[in-house]
Structure formats: structure tokens, C-alpha cells
Structure 1
Amino acid sequence: MAVELTISPDTIRSLVEKARTISAEVTDTYTDGGEHDTEFDPDTLERSHAHDGLEEEEEGNLTEEELKELIDDLNVDEAADLVAVTWIGRGDFEAAEFDQARTEAMERAEGSTSHYLMSMPLLADHLEAGLDALEL
């Protein structure tokens, strides 16, 4: 299906990678409470693991912030196309209904596109499935 997007498929793939990185930070297999299974010697740990404050912990938020900024930097047409691809990947529309999905995305655009998309736990999967359905 030949569709002309205002956002490049490669840009969408880049967003998919960032969304996957974010969703992989805490997986479904994570079990809370397991952190007490290992004992550390505080003296040895302090000498061998030095870092500046929460620098390592803040790095995880960097990808999320990057994804948010990338989506927020899209123009109206690109954002509508991204939402339309997401909806097609999610099964709300068929690939043949891309123009309708794009129109609805533009009409329903309220608030932050990044907030809307990043609230979807399967965003990366939806985007990939949408690209596949559109044969891009």
C-alpha cells in the first residue's frame, strides 16, 4: 500500500527504538522484593562503586525525555501521521483507511501528542505494526 507520510519511516523506527528502551527499563518479569537477596559489604562497595549522586539513575529518564522532545518537535502534519500509524498498528483502522486515520488524528488533536502516545504501554509495537501494515 503506497502511502505518503510527512514523517519519514526511518524517523518512526528511531522513535520505536527509544520507546522500546523505555518500556524495557522495568519488564513484566520484574519481581519486587528480590533486592534483599544479595548482601553487600558497605566498605568494599563504597570503594569500588563511586559515582556522582544520581547520575546513573537520571540516565534512564534521558531516553524518555528525548522521546518526548522528539515527538513534541513534530509539526502538526507529522504528529497526525504518527498517531495515524499508531492507530493502524493498534487495529483501530485498516491500512487502506490511512487518510481517514490521519484526518481523525488532526481533528482529535488536543493537548500533548507525546503524552498521549507515551501513555501507551505498547507504543513501539503499535508503531512497528502500523509501518508493517502500510508496507513501509
Structure 2
Amino acid sequence: MLSVSPDNICRLIQLSREFHAQEGVTIPDPSGDWARQMLASHADDASLQEFNTIIADLEPDQQQEVVALLWLGRGDYTRAEWQDAIAQAADRWNPQTAEYLIAHPLLADHLEKGLELFGHRCNE
């Protein structure tokens, strides 16, 4: 069961799609601190700002759920392994959750798939 509102997840999906659809958003070579560099160059982006705000407003356990949902939708875990995904997300949690999430170019697709495994769909 999800403690994060499916509506919040759907909004994150929408914002992620808006952000990643922009020209000029590229995910550089993963060596170095690429996520921070990429996000710093888009700091004034309204979609990114709202995305960051939604994540920051979530409790850490809810942020961990969003990360686990990404992993679930990406195929790293099955629905039956949900508690394992949550435990792994809790072990890896840090205050840069928003940066970690938005740095995944297919975030929206993965979150959408993960949400569907819980029986929810976004109305777009």
C-alpha cells in the first residue's frame, strides 16, 4: 500500500515529463557530480522548482516510497518485493532525493509503471 497520494505521484510524473521534454536538458556522462551540475543549470525552471517542492514537502518515509516506486517501475523489484524496495530506499535515503529522482530521464515512465502496479492510473 502507498502512503504517498497517487495524485502527488501523478503530479510528479507530469512535472518530470515537462522538465525532461525541454531542449537543453541533457544527462551528462555519469562520472563526477553530473546530477548537481545538470540541475544547477536549470535551477530557475518552474517545473523543476515545483518538483523539488513536492518532494521536500514529503516525509522521509514518503520520499523513500517514491524512490522505491521508481525502482519498481524500472523493474528492479517486483510488486511482491515492495517491502524490500522500501527497505533499500530507507537505507539509501539522503536529503538529495529530488535530485536523485529527476536525474533519471525515464522517471515519468517508471513512476507511471510503478503506480499502475498498485492499481492507480493518472488522468492526463
Q: Same fold (TM over 0.5)?
A: yes
Aligned equivalent of 1:113, options 97, 106, 110: 97
Match of 2:11 among 10, 14, 17: 14
Tell me which amino acid in the other structure corresponds to 1:76. Answer: P
1:61: Cα distance to partner? 0.6
Paired residues of 1:72 and 1:112 also in contact (CA < 8 A): no
- Please list the CA deviations of residues 73-94 of structure 1 after superposition, one character each: whole Å capped at 9, or x if unmatched: 2101110111111100011100
Q: Which amino acid aligns with 1:65?
A: Q
Q: Matches of 2:58 and 2:95 in 1, distance apart? A: 14
C-alpha deviation, 1:110, in angstroms? 2.6
Flag structure 1 segments of 5+ consecutive residues without an equivalent: 28-57
2:81 alignment counterpart:
97
CA distance in 1 between counterparts of 2:119 and 2:77 reads 15
Question: Pairwise mapping of residues 52-63 of structure 1 onto structure 2 (< 5 A)?
Answer: 61-63=45-47
Partner of 2:32: none
Structure 1 residue 98, shift from structure 2 partner: 0.8
2:114 aligned with 1:130: yes
Q: Alpha-carbon deviation of 1:134?
A: 2.4
Say which SS state the counterpart of residue 66 (structure 1) adopts. helix
- Cα RMSD after superposing both structures: 1.9
* Corresponding residue SS for 1:96: helix
- Contact 1:15 1:67 survives alignment (8 Å): yes
Identity level (%): 37
Q: Which residue of 2 aligns with 1:81?
A: 65
Which has the larger Rg? Answer: 1
Deviation at 1:133, TM superposition (A): 2.1
Matched residue type, 2:7: D
1:26 to 10, 19, 23: 23
Amino acid at match of 1:82: V
The AA in structure 2 aligned to 1:130 is G
Q: Which amino acid aligns with 2:60?
A: V
